[in-house]
Amino acid sequence: MDNEKSNLMKGTTTVGLTCKDGVVIATEHRATMGTLIAHKKTQKLFKIDDNIGLTVAGLVGDAQVLARYLRAEAELYNMKHKNPMPIVAAATLMSNILNGRKFYPYWVQLIVAGVDKDGYHVYSLDAAGGSIPDDYITTGSGSPYVYGVLEDHFKSGMTLEEGADLAVRALHVAMQRDSASGNGISVAMISKKEFKELTDADVNKRMQKMKLT
């Protein structure tokens, strides 16, 4: 994630993937300003509602504004309809906001993911407002390394536990080769029951189990 608008490279690695019992989203923690590591505990994973998560790659300020906006809209939708916002509605709302600013854009790439009555969904959104669903998505400067892991290891019908392990493995690989990614991993598992963010201790246990440390 970048702290300067002159640097358009999205210095971040995020990932979202669908599982048979929910979705997993994950990011690392590093924010860069050119070649400077500006922050080591940057929030790039946001809980929007109990059923929706958001990851961000791009400018810190833009990401924070968009996360606050989507969270407010999800709360309003819940109050009005007495039901959580569907994932396609959240993705479409973000797409419209991004498209409306495409000539003076928010310099971000987003993953909107979650669970609703129609199933489990992961959407990739670009700065111009494009919104594309897929089984798995990765964004940011470390994404080529993550895609290498996902293409080899992703399987349809994985459990959330297996998906969380795969997300940690993929981010670990990216952090070994992408200088703009690092300083820890955030993971959230979203199911029909809960939005569960893993602790640092749980992430470290998974890394040890997979012999990544």
Mean pLDDT computed over every residue of the chain: 93
pLDDT grade for 198, boundaries at 50, 70 and 90: very high
Contact of 19 with 120, CB cutoff 8 Å: yes
Which tokens hold the place of 166? 């795969």
pLDDT grade for 9, boundaries at 50, 70 and 90: very low
Average pLDDT over residues 177-193: 95
**Residue at 44: amino acid letter:** K
Question: CA-based angle 69:130:16, to the nearest 5?
Answer: 75
Cα 21 to Cα 14, 87, 147: the distances in Å are: 20, 16, 22
| Alpha-carbon span 54 to 174, nearest angstrom | 20
Nearby residues of 133 by Cβ (< 8 Å), 6 or more positions away: 88, 91, 121, 122, 123, 124
Contact of 10 with 115, CB cutoff 8 Å: no
pLDDT in tens, 84-128: 999 999 999 999 999 998 888 999 999 999 999 999 999 999 999
The per-residue pLDDT for 96 is: 95
pLDDT in tens, 151-169: 999 999 999 999 999 999 9
Q: Which residues are catalytic?
A: 12
| Alpha-carbon span 181 to 179, nearest angstrom | 5
Helix (H) or strand (E) holding 123: strand 119-125
pLDDT grade for 1, boundaries at 50, 70 and 90: low
Sheet holding 22-28, edge to edge: 136-139, 14-19, 22-28, 185-190, 195-197
pLDDT in tens, 24-59: 999 999 998 888 898 899 999 999 999 999 999 998
Share of the chain above pLDDT 70, in %: 95
Q: Enumerate domains of the chain plus CATH numbers.
A: 14-209 (3.60.20.10)
The per-residue pLDDT for 18 is: 98
- Judged against a pLDDT cut of 90, whether residue 2 lies above it is answered with no
